[in-house]
């Protein structure tokens, strides 16, 4: 019996945490030959902690690195820069993801399921159906919470019809109104005033390689961007610090207002590259981008196209 880690990306968001938990659970019910252990690469997001607490679930354990002999299932990422340290020495047994195909490679054929849906947990919802396994209240809460955070309560352009169907189905299991449930999830993150600038910038950051340019892109979702703008200067200073100390060509912070539906872009480093791609200018500081909610579909994809 091999022990296999199911792991999401670094700086885990709710989707990475819940995908690891729910997929390990599914695999343990469908593959008797191995033992699947959900793990995480960073602090639990507030909403994940709330769901685990409320539904009496043991959260995935924290790991820092893997090595020779370790076997992994990657969920919610397939990009080396976002993967656990030491992955090059470990074996990747499976990938379940909803991001662009990036640079994780394997020596043998594996199960690699990648669908352009709103969240990895949405794909996992479909896999529960595929294996004919009912989602109990615990699993339904995990899956629903993460579909709703990843799709910003289905408002993000990444949300598909399938995601909406899954939301409806899981909300029925829990007997909740999905929008109310989603608002409760977002509110569990607390007011912005309690969040340090380091956390605003660090909570959900990812590394990308755009045609040789090493870029850092972070996103912070709020329901009160106007209030958060009082701290724009401090946030900009932190973004500049991260760009410099991390050796990034560019760093971009998205402060996303999920109610008004749009983001402030705060950039540092090679900002011309970003400004040109979006046909904007950072000469006067941060730029408000109406309608931009998705880092993946509206920001990273654009920079990949521009770099290519």
Question: Could you list the residues that contact Mn ion (CB under 5 A)?
Answer: 15, 76, 119-120, 150
Structure tokens belonging to residue 90: 């470990």
Length of the chain: 308
All residues at 6 or more sequence positions from 293 whose CB lies less than 8 Å from its CB, including other chains: 152, 155, 156, 157, 256, 258, 261, 262, 263
Report the residue number whose CB is nearest to Mn ion: 15
What's the min distance (Å) between Cβ of 52 and Mn ion? Answer: 18
All residues at 6 or more sequence positions from 9 whose CB lies less than 8 Å from its CB, including other chains: 16, 41, 76, 77, 79, 82, 83, 206
Closest C-alpha among 65, 71, 14 to residue 43? 14
β-pairing, 71-75 with 91-97? parallel
146 close to 121: Cβ distance less than 8 angstroms: yes
What's the min distance (Å) between Cβ of 275 and Mn ion? Answer: 27
Q: Which is nearer to Mn ion, 25 or 119 (CB)?
A: 119
All residues at 6 or more sequence positions from 152 whose CB lies less than 8 Å from its CB, including other chains: 159, 221, 256, 258, 293
What's the min distance (Å) between Cβ of 16 and Mn ion? Answer: 6
User: In angstroms, rounded to a whole number, what is the distance separating the alpha carbons of residues 269 and 275?
Assistant: 11
Q: Which is nearer to Mn ion, 170 or 267 (CB)?
A: 170
Q: Which is nearer to Mn ion, 141 or 236 (CB)?
A: 141
Q: Which is nearer to Mn ion, 97 or 257 (CB)?
A: 97
What's the min distance (Å) between Cβ of 68 and Mn ion? Answer: 29
- Using the structure block, give the residue that is written with the tokens 């000469």: 283
What's the min distance (Å) between Cβ of 285 and Mn ion? Answer: 30
What's the min distance (Å) between Cβ of 150 and Mn ion? Answer: 5
**Cβ neighbour number for residue 75 with a 10 Å cutoff:** 31
Q: Which is nearer to Mn ion, 25 or 151 (CB)?
A: 151
Q: Which is nearer to Mn ion, 76 or 257 (CB)?
A: 76
Closest C-alpha among 256, 259, 257, 250 to residue 277? 250
Q: Which is nearer to Mn ion, 170 or 236 (CB)?
A: 170
What's the min distance (Å) between Cβ of 159 and Mn ion? Answer: 12
All residues at 6 or more sequence positions from 65 whose CB lies less than 8 Å from its CB, including other chains: 84, 85, 86
Q: Which is nearer to Mn ion, 120 or 222 (CB)?
A: 120
What's the min distance (Å) between Cβ of 76 and Mn ion? Answer: 4
């Amino acid at each position: 019996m091999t022990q296999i880690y199911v792991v999401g990306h670094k700086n885990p968001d709710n989707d990475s945490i819940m995908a690891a938990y729910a997929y390990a659970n599914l695999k343990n019910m469908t593959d008797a030959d191995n033992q699947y252990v959900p793990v995480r690469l960073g602090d639990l997001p507030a909403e994940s902690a709330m769901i685990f607490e409320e539904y009496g679930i043991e959260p995935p354990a924290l790991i820092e690195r893997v090595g020779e002999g370790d076997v992994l299932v990657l969920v919610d990422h397939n990009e080396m820069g976002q993967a656990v340290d030491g992955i090059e020495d470990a074996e990747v047994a499976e990938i379940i993801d909803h991001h662009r195909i990036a640079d994780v490679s394997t020596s043998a054929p594996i199960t690699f399921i990648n669908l352009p849906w709103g969240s990895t947990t949405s794909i996992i919802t479909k896999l529960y159906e595929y294996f004919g396994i009912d989602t109990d209240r615990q699993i339904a809460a995990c899956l629903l919470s993460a579909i709703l955070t990843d799709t910003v309560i289905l408002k993000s352009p990444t949300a598909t019809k399938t995601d909406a169907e899954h939301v409806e189905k899981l909300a029925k299991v829990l007997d909740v109104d999905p929008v109310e449930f989603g608002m409760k999830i977002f509110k569990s993150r607390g007011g912005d005033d309690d969040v340090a600038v380091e956390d605003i910038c660090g909570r959900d950051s990812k590394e990308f390689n755009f045609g040789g340019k090493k870029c850092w892109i972070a996103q912070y979702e709020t329901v009160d961007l106007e209030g958060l703008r009082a701290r724009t200067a401090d946030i900009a200073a932190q973004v500049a610090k991260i760009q410099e100390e991390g050796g990034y060509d560019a760093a971009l912070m998205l402060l996303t207002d999920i109610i008004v539906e749009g983001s402030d872009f705060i950039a540092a480093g090679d900002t011309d590259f970003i400004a040109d791609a979006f046909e904007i200018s950072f000469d006067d500081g941060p730029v408000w981008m109406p309608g931009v909610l998705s880092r993946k579909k509206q920001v990273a994809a654009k920079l990949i196209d521009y770099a290519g």
